[in-house]
Amino acid sequence: MEERESDIYASLEEIGDKILEEHADIVVHSGDLFDSPRPAPQAYRAFKKFLKRIGGKAKVFAVLGDHDRPKSKGLAPHFLFDDQIQLLGVNWAAQHQVLSVGGQDVLVAGLSNVSRTYHAIMQDELRKLAVLDVSGKVAVLLLHEGIDRFLPYEGAFELRLDEVPQNFDYVAMGHLHSRIRASVGRGELAYPGSSEIISRSEVDEWKKNGKGFFIVDLEKGRVDVQAVNLDCIRPQLEVKLNYSCLDEELERFVKGLGGFEKKPLVHVKIEGKSIDRQSVYSVLNESLAGLVLQFRQEFLDEAVERLLEVKSGAFQVSQVIQEYFKEPTVAGLALELWRYLRAGDVDEAKVVAEDYYQRETPA
């Protein structure tokens, strides 16, 4: 929706305002700055406007995420702004540089997203970072990977927590949309999460922790991480309604709508027996018209037979795939394709397959 795209750009604009308010010296973006390696023109324009606001007041670093990482030998969209932003760790080769901030040497290192298929390459590059001499420096690392400890199901992660280099003061992580923090070696590891509500699964997280970014104060032997919440987030509401008393419960919910600066998105779950879905949609559309930006309905019909759930831990997909394919790289590719297709992300699965083909096919 056009309004939702505008919401994303509004969050970026507010982030720029708050960066200036906080007088940040360094800005790091840990991947998926864009939703695609070929973003829409308005996305370019929004980021150009953001960089103009920063206006050289802060040094900007970034790594590529799985969404904005181009296929093998492709050019990332970030390079259009290479006079204003330093992109690290492209082509699956870790990079670092040292700069002086207020008389303190700061080492900033990064490795852009490496697909699970090439986990061995990622391990080699992380080992190089793990032996960097960071004595007398504040050390910051940017990565874009899913870490095993923070993912809900097996086979989803690209990186184990114990594989993260232990010699950095702060590890800025991208990929997961929730705010997560953990201790790693001498420092802190943190996912700031997405800066807008991208999916329904993030609604509870937003209610508890907000959406925004982290301000990190770094000194020798001290890391202070503070969450900064954005005010411009469009609210998203979840409501569960019983089909047998739909009119009464919906009326109560509608009376509670209001007081929002932006019209909310509403996720409606209808529970009951023999639900007439078309009539429910008509009632919802009539009652919520003009009050919400959009509503999405979900039906839980008690009359529908439910599939038996496989007992947790009884069937490990990763193990089956690895045993079938034997060769680690091919097994990694199969597991990565399964992970994206399981989530319905066909486009990303195609990127993974094409990237693998280009890298493995002799020139």
Same domain for 262 and 353, yes or no, is no
Residue 43 is assigned to a structural domain of this protein: yes
Residue 309 is assigned to a structural domain of this protein: no
Among the listed residues 113, 85, 92, the one whose alpha carbon sits nearest the alpha carbon of residue 175: 113
pLDDT at 318: 67
Last residue in a domain, options 301, 334, 351: 301
pLDDT at 344: 73
pLDDT at 183: 93
Same domain for 222 and 128, yes or no, is yes
3-state SS, one letter per residue, for 137-195: CEEEEEEECCEHHHCCCCCCCCECHHHCCCCCCEEEEECCCCCEEEEECCEEEEECCCC
Residue 265 is assigned to a structural domain of this protein: yes
Task: Give the CA count within 13 Å in the CB-facing half-sphere of 345.
Answer: 15
Same domain for 60 and 179, yes or no, is yes
pLDDT at 127: 97
> What does DSSP assign to residue 120?
H
Same domain for 241 and 214, yes or no, is no
What distance in Å separates the CA atoms of residue 337 and residue 148, rounded to the nearest whole number?
Answer: 18
Same domain for 199 and 250, yes or no, is no
Number of domains in the chain: 3
Distant-in-sequence, close-in-space partners of 358: CB < 8 Å, separation ≥ 6: 71, 72, 73
Residue 307 is assigned to a structural domain of this protein: no
Residue 78 is assigned to a structural domain of this protein: yes
Last residue in a domain, options 229, 260, 284: 229
pLDDT at 300: 86
Tell me the DSSP string of 251-304. HHHHHT----SSPPEEEEEEEESS--HHHHHHHHHHHHTTT-SEEEEEEEETTS
Same domain for 26 and 152, yes or no, is yes
Residue numbers of the domain that contains 352? 317-360
Residue 312 is assigned to a structural domain of this protein: no
* Per-residue pLDDT tens listing for the chain (363 residues): 899 999 999 999 999 999 999 999 999 999 999 999 999 999 999 999 999 999 889 999 999 999 999 877 789 999 999 999 999 999 889 999 999 998 899 999 999 999 888 899 999 999 999 999 999 999 999 999 999 889 866 667 889 999 999 999 999 999 999 999 999 998 999 999 999 998 888 999 999 999 999 999 987 668 999 999 999 999 999 999 999 999 999 999 999 898 899 999 999 999 999 899 999 999 999 999 999 999 999 998 765 544 434 444 445 666 677 777 777 778 778 877 877 787 677 877 887 787 777 767 665
Same domain for 218 and 243, yes or no, is no
pLDDT at 243: 94
Residue 134 is assigned to a structural domain of this protein: yes
Same domain for 156 and 27, yes or no, is yes
pLDDT at 221: 67
pLDDT at 312: 45
Q: What is the CATH number of the domain that holds 287?
A: 3.30.160
Q: What is the CATH number of the domain that holds 118?
A: 3.60.21.10
pLDDT at 294: 94
What distance in Å separates the CA atoms of residue 97 and residue 108, rounded to the nearest whole number?
Answer: 6
Taking the alpha carbons at both ends of the chain, their separation in whole angstroms is 42
Same domain for 206 and 64, yes or no, is yes
Residue 121 is assigned to a structural domain of this protein: yes
Same domain for 159 and 40, yes or no, is yes
Same domain for 30 and 171, yes or no, is yes
Last residue in a domain, options 207, 229, 251: 229
Same domain for 143 and 255, yes or no, is no
* Dihedral-angle region of residue 23 (phi above 0 means left; psi in -120 to 50 means alpha; beta otherwise): left
